[in-house]
Amino acid sequence: MSCSSTLPVSTLPVSTLPASTSPTPSVPDAPEDYPWTGQAVRSALLLSTGIADLDPDGGVDAPAEQQDRPLVDVAAIEAGLAADGAAPLAERTLVVAVGSNQTPETIARKYARSGHDLHPATPFVRCTIHDLAVGHCAHISARGYIPAAPYRAQGERMELVATWFDDEQLAVVDETEPNYERIHLEQESFPVTLATGERPRHVDVYASVWGVLAHEHPIPLRHRQQEIFDELVALTGSELVRGDAAEICARLEAAPDALQTLVREHSLVAEDGLPRG
């Protein structure tokens, strides 16, 4: 699933941001540094003029569901979208991201690379979700890194980012996720509270079609590829994942099925436990 950009971050109120041409995404980050997000999440609005920060001044010190009042103003998002000539929230699909899709920079790059003439305006809102955790897909990405993947984890609570895509944007993002299928998570089974204070009836999420890496239990997402490669060396002893992360990513990129074969041979794959159909 990609961050860091030269896109400007606006300090103006969202509703006053002027429309402009589509922003130019930065060069993709090094695959060995995936998932590029760090450990923090943020609310933001990607517009044709750049990225507007939606988090309150001073940052956020508690999960979205524990706030006394909404952290993000829905009316401001709607005003920003309208001012940019983009589709309103009612015409968008809400998708919870678990990897680099949490960042506006990644999504801007995906839009730019798609070759489609689509409007870039996209809201990103932090959220609290229960009974879901994030691990690793049991397959590499095209660039050789091991991407993030969600799995059911009863009793877990995570702070992630939910993104509203219009139909054209969603079709583009779907195309960029060949190792995943987009599925529904219902509020009854996976309670979600957005930073807007809303509790949507359901959200979508990209779930791995290959299962997730596991050793007795799914392995939680490591924030650097070197960490997960070193862990796999300890579990398999394989030279395939031994050494410097950049070299391993290049090695895996050249042999796309090698990682999947390795982890299956060592029984390091589990189902994600998420609902299909």
C-alpha 7/C-alpha 5 separation (Å) is: 5
Find out whether 2 and 110 touch, Cβ atoms under 8 Å.
yes
Look at residue 81 and tell me whether its pLDDT is greater than 50: yes
Name the residue among 255, 210, 263, 254 with its Cα closest to residue 232. Answer: 263
pLDDT of residue 6: 30
Residue 202 has pLDDT above 60, yes or no: yes
Residue-level pLDDT at 206: 98
Comparing 8-17, 92-101, 212-221, 237-246, which segment has the lowest mean pLDDT?
Answer: 8-17
CA distance 169 to 163: 11
Tell me the average pLDDT across 161-167: 97
Q: What is the chain's Cα-based Rg?
A: 19
Task: Give the residue among 198, 189, 192 at the shortest CA–CA distance from 275.
Answer: 189
pLDDT at 28: 63
pLDDT the model gives residue 125:
97
Q: What is the pLDDT of residues 103-137, one digit of tens each?
A: 999 999 999 999 999 999 999 999 999 999 999 99
Mean pLDDT of the chain: 89
Domains detected in the chain:
9-212 (3.10.490.10)
Q: How far apart are alpha carbons 2 and 66 in whole angstroms?
A: 29
Residue 78 in tokens: 């709607």
| Pairwise CA distance, residues 20 & 214, whole Å | 46
Between CA 41 and CA 59 the distance in angstroms is 11
pLDDT cut 70: percent of the chain above it: 89
Please report the pLDDT score of residue 56 as a whole number. Answer: 85
> Given a cut of 60, is residue 13 above it in pLDDT?
no
**C-beta separation of 245 from 225 below 8 A:** yes
Q: Which amino acid is at 183?
A: I
Joined together, the tokens standing for residue 49 give 């003029």
Q: Is the pLDDT of residue 9 over 60?
A: no
Q: Which residue has the higher pLDDT, 241 or 64?
A: 241
pLDDT at 7 over 70: no
Please report, to the nearest 10 degrees, the dihedral formed by the alpha carbons of residues 103, 105, 111, 117 taken in order. Answer: 120
Confidence of residue 17 (pLDDT cuts 50, 70, 90): very low
Predicted model pTM: 0.88
What does the alpha-carbon distance between residue 36 and residue 29 come to, in Å, rounded to a whole number? 7
C-alpha to C-alpha distances, 39 to 7, 167, 207, 240, nearest whole angstrom: 21, 29, 20, 28
What mean pLDDT do residues 66-79 have? 92
Q: What is the pLDDT of residues 236-270, one digit of tens each?
A: 999 999 999 999 999 999 999 999 999 999 999 99
Give the per-residue SS3 of the chain: CCCCCCCCEECCCHHHCCCCCCCCCCCCCCHHHCCCCCCCCCCEEEECCEEEECCCCCCCCCCHHHCCCCCCCHHHHHHHHHHCCCCCHHHCEEEEECCHHHCHHHHHHHHHHHCCCCCCCEEEEEEEEEEEEEEEECCCCCCCCCCEEEEEEEEEEEEEEEEEECHHHHHHHHHCCCCEEEEEEECCCCCEEECCCCCCCEEEEEEECCCEEEECEECCCCCCHHHHHHHHHHHHCCHHHCCCHHHHHHHHHHCCCHHHHHHHHCCCEECCCCCCC
Looking up tokens 């402009």 gives: 20
pLDDT recorded at residue 16? 42
Q: Taking residues 226-237, report their average pLDDT.
A: 98
Q: Would you say 267 and 138 are in contact if contact means Cβ atoms under 8 Å apart?
A: no
What pLDDT, on the 0 to 100 scale, is given for residue 26? 53
